[in-house]
Structure 1
Amino acid sequence: MNKLISILKVIIHTFFWPLLIYGLFLMLNEIQGLIIGVLLLILCFIVFCMGFIGLLKGNISIKFKYKRRGSFLIVSLIAFSTTFFSVTNYILDSSLSQSLSARVKNHYYVEALLVEKDRIFERISFLKTLKSKADSASTIFYEKTDDKLAAAASVHIRKVQAYLDMGIDNHKPVPVTIILYRNPLIFQKHLPRHSYENLQALYVPSEETIHLLVTKQMDIDKARYLELIGHEYTHHWIVSYLAENGMDNRHLPRWFEEGIAEYTGKQSVRKVPNFTPLNLLPFSRLDSVEEWAYENRRNSPHLPYRQSYYAIDQLVRDGKEARLKNLLLNKKENFYKLFQKEIGMSVIEFEVRFLRDEMRLYRETRGD
C-alpha cells in the first residue's frame, strides 16, 4: 500500500511541476524567463547533487527505493521543462517586436507541440519580415508600403472601441494583434482551418489576432478596409468583454454576434446600406459556426451577413440597443427565451416584422 501511495505521489508531482512551470513561463518575458530558468536549473542541479551524494554514501548494490527514484524523476522533469520553456519563451519574445500575452504564447506552444512543429517558426520568420506599430490598444504588423493603412487601423480601433463603450458597456480589451497581408497564399497559410470561402479577414480568439488580406479594392476604397477592421475588432471586443465577466461566446447564436460586428463595422465608417430584398433564413438556421459557414458558401442564395446586419439595425431603431448587453451576458437562460423577454417578441415574430417593415420602406423608396 505504501509503495502504491509513493507511486501515485510521483505521478501527481510529475504532472504538477511541469504544468506549474509552464504557467509561470507564459507570464514572463524573454529576460525574466531566462533569469527564472537559470535559477530553477541551479536549484534542480543542487537537489540532484545532494541526492547523488546521498546515494554514493549508501550501498550502491541496493536498488533505488521508490521514493529516491521518484525524486530523481521529478527533479529531471523540472530541469527539462525549465530548459524547454526558458528557450522557447526567449525565442518567442525576442524574435517579435512586441511582448506576447500569455494566451498568445499558449497558442504558439500548443500549436508547436500538437499541430505543426515547424509552423511556429514559419510564423515568427514571416512576422520578422514586417514592420510593426504598437500602442495601448493594438500591435499591427504590416509591409513597408502599408504604413498609412497601419496608422489608419490604429486610429480606427480606438474609434470603434469608443462606439462599443457607448452602445453596450464600458470595457477596455486586451491589446489586439493585427497582421496585414498582401499575398493571398501567405494569408491562407496563416489562418487556422475554417470553412469560409472568399475570406478577407478573420479574428482568431486563441491568438487575439486579426488576420486581414489587403486587396486592390481596399487601396481604392479605404472605407472597406476600415469597415473590416471595425468588424473584426468588434469580435475581439466581445470575446474580451465576455471573458472579463467569466464567460465565452459559445452561448451566443452566430447571427447575433456577427450581426453586432457587421453593424458596428458599417457604423464606424458611417455606411448605411440600403435594404435589398433577400431570401430570408430563419435565424435558428444561423445558430452554429457550421451553419453560418454553410450559408456563406459561394453558391448560397442567402446573405447571412446582410440579414444579421438588418436585425441589429432594427433593434437599434426600435430603441433596444441597451438590451444588447443583457443578451450578451446571458449565462443561464436560453438565448431565444431571453430574447423574447428583452425585446417583447419571439425571434420569429421579430424576423417577420423587420422584413415586412424593410420591404415597405423599400417599395416606398422605389415608388412601387
Structure 2
Amino acid sequence: MNKVVRFTNQPMVYGGIQILKRISLMVLSSLCFITVYFIFSLWLSAKQSMVVSLVIALFMFGIIICGIICLFKPIKYLPKKRSTNLTLIILSGVVSIATIFITLFNYGFEKSAYDHESIDSFTASDKISFYHKMVLDTSSAKQDTEDFSSEQVGAFTFYYDGQDNKKWINSSVKAVEAKKNQFSSIFNLKEKPPVKIILYNNIPTPENAPKPVEGSIGGYYVASEETIYLQVPSGNKREREFQRKVVHEYTHHLFNTLIKKYDLSFADFPMWFHEGLATYVGSINVGVGDNYIRELEYLNFNQMKTPAQINDHLRSPYNPYFQSMWFINHLLNDVGNDLITKIIKEKKNNGFDQSFKNVTGMGLETYSNEFLQRLRNVSSDLIAARKESNSKIALEKALEVNAIVPNLYQSNIQLEKIYMKLGNFNKSKEYAQRLVDQNPEEPSPYHGLSTQVVVEDLERAIQLSKLSVKHANEDEFSFYQGKLENLTSVQQEVEEGGPLLGYLKIFRNDYVQSDILREQLIKELLNKYPNVESGRKEMVSLFES
C-alpha cells in the first residue's frame, strides 16, 4: 500500500502573518511617534526642535548600532532574535528620518513665515494657524488678481482694478523717482529691482503683518513675493500720504533686495529697524509740533522687535514708527549713509546686536537708552534754546534738538530766526523751505518763505502767498488775503516801471515784521535795481532809519 505524502503550507502562512504583524507594528509605532513629535514641535522653535531631533537621532543611532552588532554576536540583556533586531533597526531608522523631516518641515515653515510676514516668534496656535493657511490656502491675505488690469512701467508691474485706480500709477512712479538720490546713497544698488505693486480699494492685511497707524492709508510689503500691496485713497486730497506710503513700502523692497545678496532674510533684523528705515525715507519730512512730542511715550527698542509688539503700541501715547524713524535718523547722522550696508555686512556673520555694536562702537541697549533720554528732553531743550540770549549758543542748542527730531515745527522756526539774526540769510531761507516741505497744509510757512524771497523772486513769492490763502482757515483768511493783495500791488508797480515805489508800500507797513530781514531785503532791492531813481531816496532813508 502506497503512502500518501501530504504537503502543507501552514508554516509559510504563519511566517507571512508574523512578517505582517512586524510591519504593522513598525508602521503604527512610527505613526504614533511622528504624531507625538509633531505635536510636541509646535511648542518648540526651529532651533529647539533641531536640538531635540539631534538627541533623538543619536539615541536611535545607538539602537541601530546595537541591533547590527546583535545580528552577528548576541549581547546579554539585548534581543537575540535576528527578526527582532532587524525590526528595531528599521524602526529606529524610520523614526530618525521622520524626526529630521519634521524638524526641517518646522524650520522651513518658520523661515517662510519670517520671510513672508516678518514674524519673530511663534506660539503653538500661531503655528497651527499659519500651517493651516499655507497648506489649505484659507483666509489668505492675497486676492485673486486674474481680473485685474496690469501695466508695466520700468521695473514696476502694476495691477489695478478699474480706471479710477490706474491714475495712481503715475503718482507711485513720481514718488519713487523723487527719492532716487536718497535710495542710491542708502542702498547703493546699481539698478532698480523689479517689483509688483497691487492697488486695492479695500486692502487685505495679513494677520501678523505690521498694522498701519489708525486712520492712515493701508499697505504692506511681502518679501517672499517681492510684492507691494497698497490701498488707494478715495480722493486726491490724500495724494501726499499715498506717495509716502509708496516710498515706505518700496524702501522695504530695496532693503529686501540688498539683504538677499548676503543670504539674509527679513527675520534677521528687528521690526523697529525695518520700519524705522522705511519711515525715515518716506516720512522724515512730515512735520510734528511740540505739543505732539510732549504727549508721546517711548518704548525700549527690545519691545519693538516683532510685528505683534509694534501692533500693540499703535495708539496714543505711542508712535513706534516715528520713534524708530528718529532713531534711524540719529544713526545715519552718527555713522553716515553707509550705516545700512555696514550693518548688513556685519549681520552676515553675527547676531544683530553684535553687528550694531561693531558698527556704532556701542551696544544697542546703551546706545538706544542714551538716544531715548535725549528724545525725552527735546521739549525742555527747545525751551532752553528759546531763552538763550547769546545767538551762537542758542544756535548750538537748537541744532542739537533738530538733530534728534529734524521734523519738529518749533525747532525749524527757531533755527530760521536764529540764522536770520546772525545774518546767515541763506541758511534762514533753507529752514523756511524746510517748514514748507514738512507742513504743506499750514499757511504760515508759505507766508514766511514768501517774505524771504519777495525781492529775489516776486512771482514765486506771490505763488507762495496764494498757497497760504488756500490753506488758511476762516479766522486766518483775511490776514493772508491782505498779504497777497500787498504783493499783487507791488507786482503792478514793477510792471509799470516803479519797482522801488511798489516795494516801499510793503516795507513801510508790517508785511516784513523782522527789522533784520527788512534791511537785508532793501539791500537786495537796491542792488537789483541800481538805475531806478524813483523811490530810491525814500528807500535809502527807510534803510538808514
Q: Deviations over 1:292-323 (max 9, x none)?
A: 33333x5x642211110110111123243322
Match among 328, 347, 351 for residue 364 of structure 2: 347
Per-residue CA deviations over 1:73-127 (Å, capped at 9, x if unaligned) read xxxxxxxxxxxxxxxxxxxxxxxxxxxxxx99xxxxx9999333897996034xx
* Cα contact 2:209–2:220 (8 A) shared by 1: no
Distance 2:163 2:278 in 1: 29
Q: Name which one, 1 or 2, has greater alpha-carbon Rg.
A: 2
**What amino acid sits opposite 2:339 in the alignment?**
R
CA distance in 2, matches of 1:163, 1:201: 21
Once residues 179 and 122 of structure 1 are traced to their aligned partners in structure 2, the CA distance between those partners, rounded to angstroms, is 10
Tell me the equivalent position of 1:150. 169
Question: Which of the numbers 144, 165, 168 marks the counterpart of 1:123?
Answer: 144
Question: 1:153–1:226: 8 Å Cα contact kept in structure 2?
Answer: yes
Structure 1 residues 245 and 231, CA, compared in 2 at 3 Å: closer, same or farther?
same
Q: Is the 8 A contact 2:335 2:360 kept in 1?
A: no
> Is the CA contact 1:174–1:240 (under 8 Å) kept in the aligned structure 2?
yes
Q: Identity rate of aligned residues, in percent?
A: 22
Gaps of 5+ in 1: 1-102, 105-109
Q: Which amino acid aligns with 1:150?
A: I
Query: Within 1, Cα distance between the matches of 2:250 and 2:344?
Result: 16
Q: Structure 1 304/163 Cα, relative in aligned 2: closer, same or farther at 3 Å?
A: same
**Aligned 8 A contact 1:160 1:234 in 2:** no
Give runs of aligned pairs for residues 1-368 of structure 1, distance below 5 A.
114-116=135-137, 123-125=144-146, 128=147, 130-142=148-160, 143-182=162-201, 184=202, 187-188=203-204, 191-194=205-208, 196-197=210-211, 198=214, 200-216=218-234, 219-267=236-284, 270-271=285-286, 273=288, 276-277=293-294, 278-296=296-314, 298=315, 301-329=317-345, 330-366=347-383, 367=386
Q: Which moved more, 1:149-158 or 1:168-177?
A: 168-177
RMSD after superposition: 3.3
- Single out whichever of 225-234 and 172-181 deviates more from structure 2: 172-181
CA distance in 1, matches of 2:330, 2:338: 13
Cα distance in 1 for partners of 2:287, 2:332 equals 13
Deviations 1:242-272 (A, max 9, x none): 11232212211111111111101125xx445
Q: TM-score, normalised by structure 2?
A: 0.41
Q: TM-score, normalised by structure 1?
A: 0.59
Distance (whole Å) between structure 2 residues aligned to residue 254 and residue 132 of structure 1: 31
Preserved CA contact (<8 Å) 1:171 1:241: no
Contact 1:252 1:328 (8 Å CA) reproduced: no
Q: What SS class does the counterpart of residue 232 from structure 1 fall into?
A: helix
Query: CA offset at residue 132 of structure 1?
Result: 3.0
* Cα gap change, 1:121 to 1:284, in 2 (>3 Å): closer
Structure 1 residues 319 and 242, CA gap change in structure 2 (3 angstroms): closer
Contact kept in structure 2, 1:320 and 1:343, CA below 8 Å: no
My pick for the range that moved more, 132-141 or 352-361, is 352-361
Following the alignment from structure 2 to structure 1, what is the Cα–Cα distance between the partners of residues 168 and 257? 25
The residue matched to 1:172 in structure 2 has which SS? coil
Shift of 1:172: 3.0
Alpha-carbon distance in structure 2 between the residues aligned to 1:132 and 1:229: 17
Q: How far apart, in 2, do the equivalents of 1:235 and 1:173 lie? A: 13
In the TM superposition, residue 168 of structure 1 has moved relative to its aligned partner by 3.1
Aligned partner of residue 203 in structure 1, secondary structure:
strand
Tell me how far apart the structure 2 counterparts of residues 119 and 356 of structure 1 sit (CA, whole Å): 42
Aligned to 1:31: none
